[in-house]
Structure 1
Amino acid sequence: MLKFRSLGILLMLFWFASCTEEDLGVTFVTTEEVLFASGDQVRLLGRVISDQDIQVQDHGFYLAEDEAFSNPQIISLGEKSGPGRFIGEISGLRLGTNYFAKAFLNLGGEVEFGNVISLSTLEPAFKSFSPSFGAPGEELIIEGRNFGEGTRVFFGDQEAEVLENTLQSRLLVRVPPPADNPSVPIRVLFQDREVSSAEPFEYQRGGYEIVARYPGEVRMYDNVFFQNDPNNLYIGLGSERRQVLISGFQKFDVISNTWSAASFPGTNRSFAFFTDHYLGGGVSQLGSNPFVYDGSFWAMENGGFKRLPDLPFLSRNAIAFEINGDLYVLGRNAQIVDFFFKFDKTSNTWEILPPAPVSFSRSDAAFSYGDKGYLINGGDGTLWSFDPSNNEWSTISTYPGALGIGRGMARVMGEKAFIGLFERTDEIWELDLNSFTWRKKNPMPGLPQSVLVAHFVSGPYLYIMRVPDINVPGAFSMDFYRFDPEGI
C-alpha cells in the first residue's frame, strides 16, 4: 500500500512540476515497510524519491518507543548517490516492545523525514530439541525463534555452552555435566524472558564405584563365575595370563566387602561353560594340541559343589543359560559339530535339541527372562529368543553397540537386561524387556581394551570385573566395580 501511495505522490509531483514554468525539483523520502523483525532486531526498507540526480549526505532511519521520537535510536547509512531504495538494520532492541520508525535524509542542511510506521519486536519461543537423551559433552540442537545475541541455555541449573546461533532460530549447544537430577528441563534465557522445553532432557545414566580389588597380582582369563545368593559372588578357575591354570575360587561377600578362598573339588580348567548353578566341560591343560577335554559336570548349591554324571559331549567355549531351573548348553563338540543340549534337573538327564539357527559359543552373550532364553550373536549383534515350549527361535532386535571381538555381558535386573562390555569395548546398553528398546548407559571406566571377568546382580547394583586384554603389557589390578544403572 505504501509503495502505491509513494508512486502516486511521485507522479502527482512530477505532473505539478511539469506544469510550472520553472523547474523546482522534487525530492523526498518514504518509510516503506518492515522487512524483518525478531526479538532484538529489525530490518527496515526506505526509499529516496527524486526527479533529479541528487547527492544525499546522510540517510537512514529513526527508531523510538514513542511516536514523538523523544529519545530516538538513529540508523545512519551515510552518503547516497541518486534516488532509490535503502535498507537499515538495528540490533539490541527490547523483546516484545512496540516501536515507531521513520526514514530520514539530509541533503546538506535540513533533515527531512518520511512517514511514521509502527512495529513490534517479537517474543522468544521454544519449539523442540534433539536428541532428547544424551551424555555430558555431546552436542544438542534447540529449534525455536527470536533467540537474539547473548542468549543463554541451561539444563536445569547447569549452564550450557552455546556453540552456534543460526538465524536466531537454531541453537547448537554442548550438554553440560549433570547436577543431582538426571531428568531436567532445558531453559533458554534472553534478556528478561525465559522459555523452556515441554519435555525434559534425559541424561545418560550409569555410575561406577570401585568397591574392591581381586586378591593378589592376578590377570585372569577364560574363567568361571557364579552366585547362589545375592551376597556371595564367586570368581575362579580359568588361567593366570593363559599360562597357568587357577585352582578354586575367591568368594566376595557383598555385606563386608571382603574376599575369602573357596576350594573346588574338581579339575582345574579353562573355557568351561557355566551358569549360577552349573559348571562343566572345558579343557584341563593349556597349550595342548589336540585339546585335553574335561567331561565332568557339577552343580553349585549353597556355596558347595556336587558332582553330577559326566557330560554326554565334550566341549570348549560352550555357552549356557537356565530357563525355569533347566540348563541349556550350546557349542561345538570335539569334532567341531554344533550341538544344543538340555539338562533336566528333575531327572538328571540330557536331551538333544534341534540345532540352533546359527552357531553359538562363549563368544556370544546369553540370559533368560520369563520362560525364554535370549542370546546376542557376538558377530552381528542379532538378539535371538528361544522358546523351550516348542523349540522355536526368533530374532527380536539388534544390539546397537560395539561388539568388539565378542564375549560380552548380559544380566537381568527386574524388567531390564544390561548388555555390553564385549571384549575391547566399554559400552553398556539397557534393554527394556517389555518393549525391546535400547538405551545407552555411561561407559565403564578403565581400559576399553579389556576382557570381561565376571558380572553379578546384588540389590539395585551390578558388580563387574574386567582385566586388560592379554596383549596389553604391564601390571594391572583387577578392580571390582559396583555399577548403579540409575547413577549419574
Structure 2
Amino acid sequence: MLKLRSLGILLMLFWIASCTEENLGVTFVTTEEVLFASGDQVRLLGRVISDQDVQVQDHGFYLAEDEAFSSPQIISLGEKSGPGRFIGEVSGLKVGTIYFAKSFMELSGEMIFGNSLELSTLEPAVKSFSPEFAAVGEELIIEGRNFGEDTRVFFGDQEAQVLENTLQSKLLVRVPNPGDEAQVPIRVQVQDREVSSPTLFEYQIGTYELISTYPQEIKLYDNVFFQNGPNEFYIGLGSERRLSFINGFQKFDAASSSWESVQFPGSSRSFAFFTDRYIGGGLSQLGSNPFVFDPTFWKFESGQFIQKPDLPFLTRDALAFEFEEDLYVLGSNANSMPFFSKFNSSTESWEVLPNSPVSFGRNDVSFTYQNKAYLLSTSDASIWTFDFSLQTWEEIASFPGNLGNGRGMARIIGNKAYIGLFERTNELWELDLDTFTWTRKNPMPGLPQSVLVGHFVSGPNIYIIRVPDITLAGQYPMDLYRFDPNGI
C-alpha cells in the first residue's frame, strides 16, 4: 500500500513539472553549421528549437562582411510550421572573402536571432584541361574548383565561349580563334581573381593560301610531277579523266605565280614512276587489257628531258625515290612479281636489290632523310626505313591518320615530315623526325574526295594541288594552295 502511495506521489510530481515547462514556452533559433562554401556560394544550416508547435512568420539567415551585420544580405525562407532544421543558400558572393552568418526567425512580431558563425568563400583554381591540343571550334574541358556563375575563360588573350559550368568544378568551353601564338596559357577569370592552367594549350595550326588555279579545265589523273629548283614545279602526262592522254607538262613559277606549257619529247603515258630527275615506265595505252607497258626512261637535267636506255623491267604504279643522285624503284613488274632496283647515275647501270619485307607501290608514300628512305605502307599504316648504306629494312612506327584510298603526300622541311592528304581525306600530319612524335595539322580546304596532282617544297612552305575524284560529276578547278606548316 505504501509503495502504491509513493508511486502516485511521484507521478503527480512529474505532471506538475511538465505543466511548469509548458508555461515557460522555450523557443529559440540557432545557426548550426556551414554545409557548403565555394567561390561565390554558401549553404547554411539553422534550426528552430521549441517545446511547442510554433508558427514562425519568417525565418532564414543574415549574411554580412562585418560582424555587426551593418549591411546584411537577408536569406528569407518565409513561414515555417513547427520546430526543426532549415537550409538557406546564397550565390553571387565575393570569392576569397570572410563573411559572418546568423540565423533568424520572426515569431509573433518579434525578430529573434541565433548565434553568429564566421566563414570564408574559396579561391578559384585550375587543375587540368583536356585535350591539351585541339583545333579552333573543338570542345575542351577544364577541371578545377570554385568556378562562379560569371566565370570567363581566355586562351591567351582570346576569350572562349563557356558552354557549361558543372558544379563549379568543370567548365566545357569552345576553343576560340588563335591570336599570334600557337601555344598559350588558359586563363580563368572569376570576378577579380584570375588563375591559369599549369601547362600550355597548343593550337592545331597550319594555314592554306589559294595562290593559283591550274590553267586547263581538266581532271588530271595518274600523272607525273617534279620540281626543278626552289620555284619551278612541273605537272603533266597522265590522262584527262582516264579518257585521253595529256601529252606534256604545265610549269608553275612560284616566284611570278605564272604558268607555262612545256613539251615532252617522249611518249604519253599514265601510271609512270617519277622523281625530281627521272620519269619511266607506266602504260602507253588507256583502258587496254592486257596492259601495254612503256619501257622508256627519261632524265630531266639542265632544263631538258634526256632519254636514257630502256628499262630492264616493265612496271606500272611503281614507287621511286632518290639518294645521292641514284634512283631507287620498287613495285611489281609486268608479271605482278615484286622487285626492287637501283639505277647508278654515274655508271648508268641497274642493280637488283633484295625485295622489301612488304609490298610498296604508287599508292604508298616515301621520303628520304639522313641516309635513310622512309616508306609508309597504306595497306596497314606501317612505316619502314631502308638504310642506304647497310641496305637493311626496319619497321619503326605507324601512321595515326586516315589513309583514305592511298596516293598521299610525304614532304620534308627541316627535321619535320608532312604526311597525309590521301585520296578521300583532308588530313595532314606532322612527324618530328628527332622525337618521332605526331602532330595533327589543320585540314586542307576543298573537297575531301580529291586526289593529289602535285606537291612541292619551296622555302618554309609546301605547294599542293589536288583534283576532285573522277566519280564527282561536273567541272571543278584544280586549285594550287600554299601551305605554311607554322601558320596560325
TM-score by length of 2: 0.94
Structure 1 residues 124-143: Cα deviation after superposition (integer angstroms, max 9, x where no partner): 11222211221111001111
Aligned to 1:299: 299
2:264 aligned with 1:264: yes
CA distance, structure 2, for counterparts of residue 94 and residue 418 of structure 1: 50
Seq. identity, %: 70
Aligned to 2:27: 27
Q: What's the CA shift for 1:77?
A: 1.5
Secondary structure in structure 2 of the residue aligned to 1:394: strand
Aligned to 1:52: 52
Aligned to 2:131: 131
Q: What's the CA shift for 1:157?
A: 2.4
Preserved CA contact (<8 Å) 1:284 1:292: yes
Secondary structure in structure 2 of the residue aligned to 1:200: strand
Aligned to 2:325: 325
CA distance, structure 1, for counterparts of residue 84 and residue 349 of structure 2: 98
Aligned to 2:443: 443
Aligned to 1:218: 218
Aligned to 1:9: none
Aligned to 1:78: 78
CA distance, structure 2, for counterparts of residue 277 and residue 380 of structure 1: 30
Preserved CA contact (<8 Å) 1:55 1:107: yes
Preserved CA contact (<8 Å) 1:17 1:24: no
1:8-407 aligned at under 5 Å gives the runs 20=20, 23-407=23-407
- Kindly provide the amino acid, as one letter, of the partner of residue 67 in structure 1: E
Aligned to 2:458: 458
Q: What's the CA shift for 1:231?
A: 1.3
Preserved CA contact (<8 Å) 1:427 1:444: yes
Preserved CA contact (<8 Å) 1:148 1:168: yes
CA distance, structure 2, for counterparts of residue 344 and residue 111 of structure 1: 104
CA distance, structure 1, for counterparts of residue 308 and residue 378 of structure 2: 30
Structure 1 residues 165-188: Cα deviation after superposition (integer angstroms, max 9, x where no partner): 011111100011123333322221
Secondary structure in structure 1 of the residue aligned to 2:163: strand
CA distance, structure 1, for counterparts of residue 122 and residue 87 of structure 2: 20
Q: Name the CA shift for 1:346/1:17 in 2 (closer, same or farther; >3 Å).
A: farther
CA distance, structure 1, for counterparts of residue 206 and residue 302 of structure 2: 31
Aligned to 2:9: none
- Kindly provide the amino acid, as one letter, of the partner of residue 435 in structure 1: T
Length, aligned pairs only:
474
Secondary structure in structure 1 of the residue aligned to 2:74: strand
Q: What's the CA shift for 1:21?
A: 7.2
CA distance, structure 2, for counterparts of residue 87 and residue 383 of structure 1: 64
Preserved CA contact (<8 Å) 2:22 2:51: no
Structure 1 residues 352-384: Cα deviation after superposition (integer angstroms, max 9, x where no partner): 222212211111111111111111111222211
Aligned to 1:469: 469
Preserved CA contact (<8 Å) 2:205 2:487: yes
Instruction: Give the aligned CA root-mean-square deviation in angstroms.
Output: 1.8
Q: What's the CA shift for 1:23?
A: 3.7
Aligned to 1:4: none
1:398-417 aligned at under 5 Å gives the runs 398-417=398-417
Secondary structure in structure 2 of the residue aligned to 1:199: strand
Preserved CA contact (<8 Å) 1:77 1:88: yes
Q: What's the CA shift for 1:17?
A: 7.0
CA distance, structure 1, for counterparts of residue 392 and residue 34 of structure 2: 69
- Kindly provide the amino acid, as one letter, of the partner of residue 328 in structure 1: Y
CA distance, structure 1, for counterparts of residue 22 and residue 301 of structure 2: 119
Q: Name the CA shift for 1:316/1:21 in 2 (closer, same or farther; >3 Å).
A: closer
Structure 1 residues 198-238: Cα deviation after superposition (integer angstroms, max 9, x where no partner): 43322211111121211221211100011121111111111
CA distance, structure 1, for counterparts of residue 471 and residue 408 of structure 2: 18
Q: What's the CA shift for 1:27?
A: 1.8
CA distance, structure 1, for counterparts of residue 124 and residue 266 of structure 2: 72
Q: Name the CA shift for 1:399/1:21 in 2 (closer, same or farther; >3 Å).
A: closer
Structure 1 residues 306-329: Cα deviation after superposition (integer angstroms, max 9, x where no partner): 222221211110111123332221
Preserved CA contact (<8 Å) 1:230 1:459: yes
Secondary structure in structure 2 of the residue aligned to 1:270: coil
CA distance, structure 2, for counterparts of residue 180 and residue 443 of structure 1: 20
CA distance, structure 1, for counterparts of residue 464 and residue 286 of structure 2: 26
Preserved CA contact (<8 Å) 1:206 1:485: yes
Structure 1 residues 441-464: Cα deviation after superposition (integer angstroms, max 9, x where no partner): 111111111000000000111000
CA distance, structure 1, for counterparts of residue 21 and residue 69 of structure 2: 39
Moved more, 442-451 or 173-182: 173-182
Structure 1 residues 266-305: Cα deviation after superposition (integer angstroms, max 9, x where no partner): 1111000111111111001101111110111122222212
CA distance, structure 2, for counterparts of residue 307 and residue 443 of structure 1: 40
Preserved CA contact (<8 Å) 1:17 1:23: no
Secondary structure in structure 1 of the residue aligned to 2:47: strand
Preserved CA contact (<8 Å) 1:422 1:451: yes
CA distance, structure 1, for counterparts of residue 81 and residue 258 of structure 2: 89
Unaligned runs of 5+ in 2: 1-13
CA distance, structure 2, for counterparts of residue 43 and residue 270 of structure 1: 76
Preserved CA contact (<8 Å) 1:145 1:169: yes
* Higher Cα Rg, which structure: 2
Q: What's the CA shift for 1:18?
A: 5.5
Aligned to 2:8: none
TM-score by length of 1: 0.94
Preserved CA contact (<8 Å) 2:331 2:359: yes
Q: What's the CA shift for 1:22?
A: 6.2
